[in-house]
Amino acid sequence: MIEQDAGRPSPDQNPLFGICHLAPAVGRLRLHAGLMGAGKSALAIQVGFHRRQAGRPGLIFTSADRAGSGTLSSRLGLSVSAREFTEDTDFVATIGEALPPRGFVIVDEAQFLTPAQVDELALLVDEMAVDVDCFGLLTAFDSHMFPGSQRLVELADDILDLVEVLCWCGQAGRVNARIEDGAVIRSGSQVAVGDLGGGAGATYRVLCRRHWREGEPGPGVL
C-alpha cells in the first residue's frame, strides 16, 4: 500500500493533484526564443495545429498581437484565435479550470509574462503534466532581458533558438533596435508595441552588436 506523502496536498486539497494521475507522467516547459522576424508566431501556430491534429486539447495565449486582441498572427499570413493575457491573468485558475489532462498550452509574446506568471506556468507543468511552449523575445531594444524572459530562462526545461536573423551588414542580429526619426533609441519604456519596418506603434530593426553599439540603423531607415 502506498501512503500519501505528508508533504504534498491530497486530491481534495488541490484540484490540480486530483487529475494528475490521469495525465502523462512528465510535462515540459519550453522557451522558443528568437529575434523579431525569426518566425516565432508562425511556429507557435504550427505547433498548436499539429497537437490538435493529434487529438490533444489545448489553449493558446497571446498579448498585443499585430492583428488585434484575441488573435495570434504571423507575418506569413497565418492566424488563429487565441486568449489575450495581461499582467493580471491568473494562469493557474484559467488553465486549471479550462484544460483537461494531457493538454498543451502555447504562449506567444511570452516576453510580456511577469515572473510570477512564469512560476504559475511551471507549476502547471509539474502538477498537471501539461506541455507549455512559450514563444518570445529574450531582450528588449536596450539589449537587456525582459523580466518574463529571464524567468523563463531560469525555469525552462528546454531553451530552443529559432532561425538566425541578420543585421543589414550581414552579421548575426543580436538586438531588436528601436528606431525613431532615423536614430537608434537607447532609453524609454522597455515595452513599446511595434513591428519590423514601421507601421503602427514603435519601429524596430534587427541589428548586430556592433551596429547597435555604434547607433547605425543602416540604409533605407528614415
pLDDT per position as a tens digit, 4-14: 444 444 444 44
Average pLDDT of the segment spanning 68-88: 84
Is 192 annotated to bind a ligand? Reply is yes
Which of the residues 3, 87, 97, 109 is marked catalytic?
109
- Distance separating alpha carbons of residues 1 and 161, to the nearest angstrom: 45
| Distance from C-alpha of 78 to C-alpha of 75, rounded to nearest angstrom | 7
Residue 194 annotated in ligand binding? yes
Q: How does the average pLDDT of the chain come out, rounded?
A: 83
Cell of 160: 530552443
According to the model, what pLDDT value does residue 185 have? 87
- In contact, 35 and 176? CB cutoff 8 Å: yes
Q: Give the E-state strand segments of 77-219 in sequence order.
A: 79-81, 83-84, 104-108, 131-136, 158-161, 175-180, 183-185, 194-196, 202-207
Segment 118-146 shows an average pLDDT of: 93
Q: What is the pTM of this model?
A: 0.77
Domains of the chain are 29-163 (3.40.50.300)
C-beta separation of 113 from 150 below 8 A:
no
pLDDT value of residue 21: 47
Q: What is the pLDDT of residue 203?
A: 86
Residues 137 and 47: their CA atoms lie apart, in Å, by 18
Q: Is 107 annotated as a binding residue?
A: no
Q: Is 204 annotated as a binding residue?
A: yes
Give the range with max mean pLDDT: 15-24, 66-75, 130-139: 130-139
For residue 109, indicate whether it is catalytic. Answer: yes
CA distance 32 to 158: 8
In degrees, rounded to 5, the angle at the alpha carbon of residue 110 between the alpha carbons of residues 53 and 184 is: 130
Tell me the pLDDT tens digit for each residue of 165-194.
999 999 999 999 999 888 898 877 766 555
